[in-house]
Amino acid sequence: MDHAELVLEMAHLERMPTADRLALARRRRVQQLRLWSQKDREKRKLSPPRNNRHIFFNDNVMLLEAASRNDIDEVKRLLVKGVSPDATNEDGLTALHQCCIDDNEQMMKLLVEFGANVNAEDSEKWTPLHAAATCAHLHLIKYLIDKGANLLAVNADGNMPYDICEDESALDLIESEMARRGVTQELIDNTRATTESRMLKELQQAVKDNQTYLLESYDHQGATPLHIAAANGYLKVVEFLLDHHVATDVKDSDDWQPVHAAACWGHLEVLEVLVQNGADLNAKTKNDETPSDICEDPDLRDRILQLRNEQETKKEAQKWRIRRTQSNNTRAQSVRRTSIREKTLTSKKDAVEEARLRIEAQNFAKKFLATTARASSDFEGDSSLESYSPIAIVPNIPTGERHEPEGENVIIEEKSQVEKVEVAPAAETCYTTESDGKINIHVSVTINAGTLAELKKQRAQTRAATGSINNNADLPSDSESAFNRFAGDTEDVIVGAPLKARRKCCIIF
């Protein structure tokens, strides 16, 4: 039978009782040997061997083959010759394992007499007692126990002999012996965790020695520590490896991922942890088998299918969120582009309007300085204006858009929308007296306007005030004007002195 036929037959074999499976295995073995003999005879007819040609087999192979045929005389001859009774085949099976499967007590006693190890382990860590227990051979179980078989031996699946015993009589025999030896549940749990604890300590030591590459090393079959921990149900080891960010989609030589191993050997907790860390339940082996296809436990298979549906639903929701986010980003970018364009157009309009207002402010400053010069000529004294600061009329510029003309002393304030126009007669006035008695006067006027219409109204009021100054050159002290007055003495400045007491002074409007 080829591999595909064996895979199809697995479901049928799992439903068969243990005794029927063993009987079927024996019949298949007999058929295999018969076919081999037939092919060998045909080959001899086609090419008869020469007289000097002989075929030799290894003694270990001959011992295992004689034990499988129940040839006691041949086995005894080989044992007397010195062949080891613990010789193994490619799967690690010894002749004693084969006796427990075939229910051959006489062969078992012969092997034990020549020193066969009653606790020998095959590649899956099965001992002869595991084989006898699962086959329910009571007399072989009793004989092995009497010869010191380990009742707490743990195989690769984490099972002890009593865990895989389906026969009630065999189970009672093993449990009675465990109770007689004082085996407790705590001892059983600690024994089960021995291998896992050893593996965990080795991995922790590797991390401590900065050899983290060992966490994802491969064995001869391409399996990583995560494969091994998942197959054995070592939950603590799996969590440790995942905490150190090992890959969950790593494959062995048969494209098995750790999630396949957990599903095949029925470790639900390990499988759920792997799925939570990104393991794909749709991953396939070389034979196109998903974890649910490999799983033999119906309940676990249903749980796997449920987890797979949840995983697919979550992926679809994530894709939908990504598409929605991309759509929202595109819309937001479009809105931002429109807003920037509108802001650019608005700033250009504001710049043009500001330039026009700046020119008008300069013209107003020239007229105001001319008026001030004419007013100062009516007073006695030698004082003159050596320097001055031009007056700037500054409109209310929106926050965030500052336009600072070069070469001008302009005061720009960032304010929100002004509802009421306020005109400050003299926003800032300061003076300095030099050693030669000259007075340097600096006047800075800031007019805050809200809208353009209000600015025009304010400018009209300012022109009216300027005309009033030109028509009233005498400017009595008690007159009210649009601007504050300044009075000062060149030697001893007294602000607010009577008009007649003023000598060598000037008045700035």
| Residue 100, C-beta contacts closer than 8 angstroms, at least 6 positions apart | 108, 128, 129, 131, 132, 135, 137, 140, 144
Amino acid 325: pLDDT: 64
Distance of CA 489 to the CA centre of its chain: 80
Residue keyed to tokens 């595909």: 4
* Average pLDDT rounded to a whole number, residues 276-288: 92
Residue 392 structure tokens: 């700037």
Reported as a single tens digit per residue, the pLDDT across 15-30 is 888 778 778 887 888 7
* Average pLDDT rounded to a whole number, residues 132-148: 93
Residue type, 372: T
Using DSSP's 3-state secondary structure scheme, residue 128 falls into helix
What is 425-480 written as a DSSP string? Answer: S-SEEEEEE-TTS-EEEEEE--EE-SSHHHHHHHHHHHHHHHHHHHH--S--TT--
**Torsional sign, CA 69, 74, 80, 82:** negative
Alpha-carbon span 164 to 297, nearest angstrom = 15
Amino acid 156: pLDDT: 77
Amino acid 327: pLDDT: 56
Report residue 250's pLDDT band, with 50, 70 and 90 as the boundaries: very high
- Among candidate residues 226, 231, 228, 234, the one with its CA nearest the CA of residue 196: 234
Q: Is residue 107 within 8 Å of residue 95, measured between CB atoms?
A: yes
Using DSSP's 3-state secondary structure scheme, residue 94 falls into strand
Amino acid 490: pLDDT: 46
Burial class of residue 368 in the structure, from the number of CB atoms within 10 Å of its CB (0-12 exposed, 13-18 middle, 19+ buried): buried
Residue type, 93: L
Amino acid 232: pLDDT: 86
Reported as a single tens digit per residue, the pLDDT across 329-384 is 554 444 444 455 555 566 667 777 777 888 888 888 777 777 766 655 554 444 44
Burial class of residue 144 in the structure, from the number of CB atoms within 10 Å of its CB (0-12 exposed, 13-18 middle, 19+ buried): buried
- Among candidate residues 438, 336, 433, 333, the one with its CA nearest the CA of residue 382: 438
Alpha-carbon span 191 to 213, nearest angstrom = 29
Alpha-carbon span 160 to 18, nearest angstrom = 18
pLDDT at 149 over 90: yes
- % of the chain residues with pLDDT over 90: 36
| Residue 294, C-beta contacts closer than 8 angstroms, at least 6 positions apart | 260, 263, 264, 285
* Average pLDDT rounded to a whole number, residues 258-284: 92
Q: What angle do CA 4, 6, 10 make, to 5 degrees?
A: 120
Alpha-carbon span 277 to 179, nearest angstrom = 42
DSSP classification of residue 32: H
Helices (H), 2-71: 3-14, 18-46, 59-68
Alpha-carbon span 398 to 402, nearest angstrom = 8
Alpha-carbon span 271 to 389, nearest angstrom = 84
Please give the residue that has the higher pLDDT: either 239 or 455: 239
- % of the chain residues with pLDDT over 70: 65
Sequence ranges of the domains in the chain: 55-183, 193-296, 360-507
Amino acid 497: pLDDT: 47
Q: Is residue 144 within 8 Å of residue 132, measured between CB atoms?
A: yes
* Average pLDDT rounded to a whole number, residues 301-317: 88
- Among candidate residues 48, 70, 66, the one with its CA nearest the CA of residue 57: 66
Cα dihedral 248, 253, 256, 258, rounded to 10, equals -40
Q: Is residue 246 within 8 Å of residue 258, measured between CB atoms?
A: no
What does the mean pLDDT of the chain come to?
75
Paired with 443 in beta bridges are: 429
Of the ranges 95-109, 227-241, 455-469, which one carries the lowest mean pLDDT score? 455-469
Helices (H), 209-297: 225-232, 235-243, 258-264, 268-276, 291-294
Reported as a single tens digit per residue, the pLDDT across 119-132 is 999 988 899 999 99
Paired with 422 in beta bridges are: 448
The reported pTM is 0.47
- From residue 134, alpha-carbon distances to 138, 170, 281 in Å are 10, 9, 32
- Among candidate residues 413, 419, 404, the one with its CA nearest the CA of residue 450: 419
Alpha-carbon span 424 to 411, nearest angstrom = 13
Alpha-carbon span 413 to 393, nearest angstrom = 12
Amino acid 326: pLDDT: 61
Amino acid 360: pLDDT: 83
Amino acid 486: pLDDT: 45
Amino acid 50: pLDDT: 56
Amino acid 180: pLDDT: 92
pLDDT at 485 over 50: no
pLDDT at 117 over 90: yes
Alpha-carbon span 508 to 258, nearest angstrom = 94
Distance of CA 477 to the CA centre of its chain: 82
**250: phi then psi, degrees, rounded to nearest 5:** -70, 145
CATH superfamily of 55-183: Ankyrin repeat-containing domain (1.25.40.20)
User: If one looks up domain 193-296 in CATH, what number appears?
Assistant: 1.25.40.20
Burial class of residue 81 in the structure, from the number of CB atoms within 10 Å of its CB (0-12 exposed, 13-18 middle, 19+ buried): exposed
Residue 145 structure tokens: 């126990």
Report residue 434's pLDDT band, with 50, 70 and 90 as the boundaries: low
Using DSSP's 3-state secondary structure scheme, residue 509 falls into coil
- Among candidate residues 475, 473, 503, the one with its CA nearest the CA of residue 490: 503
Reported as a single tens digit per residue, the pLDDT across 197-238 is 999 999 999 999 999 999 999 988 899 999 999 988 899 999
pLDDT at 143 over 80: yes
Domains 55-183 and 193-296 share a fold: yes
Amino acid 338: pLDDT: 47
Report residue 409's pLDDT band, with 50, 70 and 90 as the boundaries: very low
* Average pLDDT rounded to a whole number, residues 437-462: 58
